[in-house]
A and B are shown apart, each in its own frame.
Chain A
């Protein structure tokens, strides 16, 4: 489903180059639930950005569903993001003047799907995350856990091949964290490929595979026994 081959990335910091990713080889099969772990500075966010086509690699190759992702212009990157990927962020990143269902429907708008269909699809996915009663509420009227669930519904609505979650529980208490993770597990069990970036062992244990990054290299990659919620 997703394959990285000797991926390198460095950033220019003044006159020096900061080598962030020093050759990542990494393969994810369909239906996996992978936790990417690492302390800050390990390169895990950079890796996720490259996976999410929000940033491009300097060297190496990236295949997503057998399509090589390279030399993307902004328009094409936007199209691929819309079709292949769903994002869940630590800070939810909902649009604050749109209500829940409008937020969820947004990726479909950029795909050019008719209004009616967007609405039904969005409501569908809100129901999936258990928020069908909150569809007309603004983000400001929702709790943190609810916001993250809206964000997950939004990430799923376009039926992406891969769901990328960047510290999805980072801003949540442990109870709501578990709620969110149980939804992620449920989606994964339905067959969705999911990558979760986290620094919490607790969260990593809820995944099926843990990849540890340190100083731009993968130091550990193992399948674990998933802690089901």
Chain B
């Protein structure tokens, strides 16, 4: 069945029937192409969602103070809540079971000057755990440590882009002194961050130092805590709820007041997004499979047409001694051959398109680096070829049953 003659026969029929070949091939190529592209877009969406959370730890809760909306225990409503150092230590003492890391955050924008260079940057007063929360990577020197916090040292760890802005190339910033507004700080380290430029134009200082500068107060803007990973997603939700109750009690906020304290739970958001993108992936897979099925139906339609068109020819062949199997074989091999060639053309077309897109769609369509596993693409193509063969087999079988007398009857 796979002799050279078979192929000569097939190539002859293909080359003599170019339009037919092109049409059936096009259906297949288009089906696979759309499948590959859609699937790749699905993966691209997932990539983008992952990206949103890549630069932060996911077992982190951020606690924001709000303004109360209900009067409680003699306090009027619309009271501005402020966190203090005592809240930090309160959380530390009461949540040892949950707590992994804790860091306050005092954000101020400040003029930072080194020699003649000067710029405005975000400064963060934090504790050493901040490095873990932000996944900062220290490339030079060190991060602030607990001694720096305890001693209210005027030390600063600066982001990569701050170094780029203020220092000369090849100049080592560690050990140099910079001015943050009117205070002099010693640079003790440089960090980089994967979260983008914004995260690298930051100056990190001990939060106690910031408090010292601000008339030695004890206020903090926000509190970030992380819980032990083994508690999992559910444990994180439990921690969130317990924290809320604890802080409301400590800050004299009505337990039913929803406005006094806000907690942002990264893992909750991540999970929602992941659920969303998983559903999206299902939808895309469904649409993709639909496209494949449409391709298969397209092939079988064309094969039915081809057999119809070739009825007379097949009748002649049978009168000259073609066996039913050789008729099935010729049609089937031809259909599989066309499906395989065009299937792979469509597949590689799709892959090339996906690769060329890269992150060009990331900005507006949230599709970053769309891709499809090569094996998935090959698998889909093989599935299409198999179903194409099945779709071709039915008309081929019918063709093999054509009675030569009927096929040869003059119209």
Using a CB–CB cutoff of 8 Å, the interface residues on chain A facing chain B are 49, 52, 54-55, 74-75, 78-79, 81-83, 87, 89-91, 93-98, 102, 106-107, 109-111, 115, 154, 158
Q: Using Cβ atoms and an 8 Å threshold, which residues of chain B touch A54?
A: 319, 403-405
Q: Using Cβ atoms and an 8 Å threshold, which residues of chain A touch B230?
A: none
Question: How far does the alpha carbon of A83 sit from the alpha carbon of B322 in the complex, in Å?
Answer: 11
From the candidates A90, A109, A158, name the one contacting B5 in the complex (CB within 8 A).
Answer: A109
Nearest CB of B to A161, in Å = 14
Question: How far does the alpha carbon of A55 sit from the alpha carbon of B17 in the complex, in Å?
Answer: 31
Are A97 and B321 within 8 A (Cβ)? no
Known: A91-B410, A115-B5. A75 touches B405 (CB 8 A): no
Are A89 and B323 within 8 A (Cβ)? no
Quick check: is B57 within 8 A (CB to CB) of the other chain?
A: no
Known: A55-B405, A93-B408, A115-B4. A78 touches B12 (CB 8 A): no
Question: How far does the alpha carbon of A75 sit from the alpha carbon of B401 in the complex, in Å?
Answer: 11
Question: How far does the alpha carbon of A78 sit from the alpha carbon of B402 in the complex, in Å?
Answer: 12
Question: How far does the alpha carbon of A117 sit from the alpha carbon of B4 in the complex, in Å?
Answer: 15
Using a CB–CB cutoff of 8 Å, the interface residues on chain B facing chain A are 4-5, 8-9, 12-13, 16-17, 312-313, 315-326, 400-401, 403-405, 408, 410
Are A158 and B400 within 8 A (Cβ)? no
Q: Is the interface of B mostly helix, strand, loop or mixed?
A: helix
Chain A residue nearest in CB terms to B13: A97
Question: How far does the alpha carbon of A49 sit from the alpha carbon of B410 in the complex, in Å?
Answer: 14
Are A95 and B323 within 8 A (Cβ)? no
Nearest CB of B to A220, in Å = 26
28 example contacts (A-B, Cβ-Cβ < 8 A) are as follows: A52-B319, A54-B404, A55-B403, A74-B401, A75-B323, A75-B324, A75-B325, A78-B318, A78-B323, A79-B321, A81-B320, A81-B321, A82-B321, A87-B319, A91-B408, A93-B315, A93-B316, A93-B408, A97-B12, A97-B13, A102-B12, A106-B317, A106-B320, A109-B9, A110-B321, A110-B326, A115-B4, A115-B5
Additional pairs, 7, CB under 8 Å, beyond known A91-B410, A97-B17: A54-B319, A75-B324, A79-B321, A81-B321, A87-B320, A93-B315, A110-B323
Chain B residue nearest in CB terms to A109: B5
Nearest CB of B to A189, in Å = 25
From the candidates A89, A98, A110, A111, name the one contacting B408 in the complex (CB within 8 A).
Answer: A89
Q: Using Cβ atoms and an 8 Å threshold, which residues of chain B touch A75?
A: 323-325
Q: Which of A91, A96, A109, A115 has the largest count of B CB atoms less than 10 A from its CB? A: A109
Q: Which of B320, B321, B323, B326 has the largest count of A CB atoms less than 10 A from its CB? A: B320
Question: How far does the alpha carbon of A106 sit from the alpha carbon of B323 in the complex, in Å?
Answer: 13
Nearest CB of B to A93, in Å = 5
Chain B residue nearest in CB terms to A45: B405
Question: How far does the alpha carbon of A102 sit from the alpha carbon of B11 in the complex, in Å?
Answer: 14
Question: How far does the alpha carbon of A134 sit from the alpha carbon of B303 in the complex, in Å?
Answer: 33
Going nearest first, the 3 A-B pairs with the smallest beta carbon separation are A82-B321, A97-B16, A110-B321
Q: Using Cβ atoms and an 8 Å threshold, which residues of chain A touch B316?
A: 93-95
Question: How far does the alpha carbon of A93 sit from the alpha carbon of B408 in the complex, in Å?
Answer: 7
Nearest CB of B to A110, in Å = 4
